[in-house]
Amino acid sequence: DVKVTQSSRYLVKRTGEKVFLECVQDMDHENMFWYRQDPGLGLRLIYFSYDVKMKEKGDIPEGYSVSREKKERFSLILESASTNQTSMYLCATRTGEETQYFGPGTRLLVL
Amino acid sequence: ILNVEQSPQSLHVQEGDSTNFTCSFPSSNFYALHWYRWETAKSPEALFVMTLNGDEKKKGRISATLNTKEGYSYLYIKGSQPEDSATYLCAFRISGGYNKLIFGAGTRLAVHP
């Protein structure tokens, strides 16, 4: 079974802090994704990566950056957290197959 | 702007009822349609991926159909059980879209004993 883990289930940070959200997968998948989910909206793609050190902007990359130094780990970075980044963050992975495999999510509150 | 609409937004049914919900997506440049189930405090889990017009897929009591020409998919649950309570997400992948999925907002199903 594919396992996708995220470093925290819940996180509380202050405005202006630098925040790191970590995602680790154990199945050697090439593609990794970061989404955010807000009430009443579908999951929105922030960034994705199709290989180590490769990244592409998704639909809402502003205020975020990513890092993929190793194949199994994809980090989402909030350079200076703001209250409008309070959200549920989901990481996902994919091989050459179509299906995406999700982590359990990190609920981030920025005060 | 590509949009995926799901209806209804939420649904309450009694145990044993059959139910269905709809996902509407753009009918042009279709590549694939995904359905995921997301239970509270768990990871979203893939139910189906459909790629061909007229596709029908089934997993236990849950089934899905696909009409790419008119841009909709139905998810059916036969004889709902409390463990079916979850948010059901559909996601559309556009042809040439580098596996970017566009998600609907989901249908939240609550099955009452």
Is 90 exceeded by the pLDDT of residue A85?
yes
pLDDT of residue A101: 94
pLDDT tens-digit profile of A7-54?
Answer: 999 999 999 999 999 999 998 899 999 999 999 899 999 999 999 989
Q: At residue A96, does pLDDT exceed 80? A: no
Q: Which two tokens stand for residue A83?
A: 């209250």
Q: Which residues of B touch A48 (CB under 8 A)?
A: 98-100
Burial-class residue B98 by CB neighbours within 10 Å (0-12, 13-18, 19+): exposed
Please give the torsion angle defined by the CA atoms of residues A79, B2, B73 and B45, in that order, rounded to the nearest 10 degrees. Answer: -10
pLDDT-based confidence at residue B97 (cuts at 50, 70, 90): low
At B94 the pLDDT is 86
Residue-wise pLDDT tens digits, B31-85 = 999 999 999 999 999 999 999 999 999 999 999 999 999 999 999 999 999 999 9
Please report the pLDDT score of residue A4 as a whole number. Answer: 95
A4 touches chain B (CB under 8 A): yes
| CA–CA dist A6, A108 (Å, integer) | 12
Q: Give me the percent of chain A exceeding a pLDDT of 90.
A: 85
Closest CA to A49 of A38, A35, A34: A34
- Structure confidence at residue B95 (pLDDT): 82
Q: Which of residues 38-97 of B touch A (CB under 8 A)?
A: 41-46, 49, 51, 89, 91, 93
